[in-house]
Chain A
Amino acid sequence: MTGLQITFLVVAAAILASAVLVVTARNLVHAALWLIATLFGMAILFVLLQAGFLAAVQVVVYIGAIAILIIFAIMLTRRVMQDTGPQTNSQWWLGGLLAAALLAAIAYTLFRVDQQGAFPLANVPIPDSSLAELGKALVSPDFYMIPLVVIGVLLAVGMVGSIAIARDEREKE
């Protein structure tokens, strides 16, 4: 077993453990902190996959923006569910069953496909210019220019929409 594989296994175990804690922690602030740990583990995985840019984006966008937003929302809505009563609904076992069935189905499929060697591995190194290529592809009309514009519109609409939704309407009166 190589060092890379050991690194992967350690990171994967950390990610899975903190992900389970995200969905089971009673205290929501703890759950959010475990979510940050999970996201950080993903950034390490992106580095292992030689996608350093995505690792940086993961830290900046997910940990820097989304996780902070979630912690803000937890603090703004804190008084309601302060660690009292069960944190799961009455059908939690059904959800667990469904998740386990989904995992079993995916694992079975993965095992079958892997056995047949159906993944056509490329076995070529990632070119050094892949980030420059990505930048060019994002503004090229032949590749992803329209998706990029749509994403821009989506983010603008999302921003305006969330301000409009979260604004206190009593302020106007």
Chain B
Amino acid sequence: MIPLSWYLALSAALFSVGVYGVLARKNAVAILMSVELMLNAVNINLVAFWHYLTPTAVSGMAFALIVFAVAAAEAAVGLALIISIYRRRQTVVAEDVNLMKF
């Protein structure tokens, strides 16, 4: 049997990789990809806890499904924003889009 802590450790490592990607990448599409990595790490956590702690309830799977739907909506709106910014400013570099920067 695989220990629960292995799943949690993998998910923590994956989340950290995603955090690094969000903070360090220049390209906005790459930042979105890193966000997807982080959402996936959370999903592993949810399903692992469901499998090991409450296998007779459905809450873990229901939460994971909601995360899927939110991730889909987030990707659609985020990519639409990037394409709109690209059309107006000819750039997808996150630090060049600084109109609202204080």
Chain A residues packing against B (C-beta within 8 Å)? 2, 4-5, 8, 12, 15-16, 19-20, 22-23, 28, 31-32, 35, 38-39, 42, 45-46, 48-51, 53-54, 57-58, 61-62, 65-66, 69-70, 72-74, 76-77, 80-81, 86-89, 91-92, 94-96, 98-100, 102-103, 106-107, 110, 114, 119-122, 124-127, 130, 133-134, 137-138, 143-144, 147, 151, 154-155, 157-159, 161-163, 165-166, 168
Contacts and interface: CB of A to CB of B under 8 A. Distances in A.
A87 B10 contact: no
Interface string B36-71: 110010011001101111111010011011101111
Contact residues of A: prevailing secondary structure: helix
A166 B83 contact: yes
B51 A126 contact: yes
A88 B25 contact: yes
Given A42-B40, A95-B19, A127-B56, A89 B4 contact: no
Interface of B: 1-2, 4-10, 12-27, 29-30, 32-34, 36-37, 40, 43-44, 47-48, 50-56, 58, 61-62, 64-66, 68-77, 79-84, 86-87, 90-95
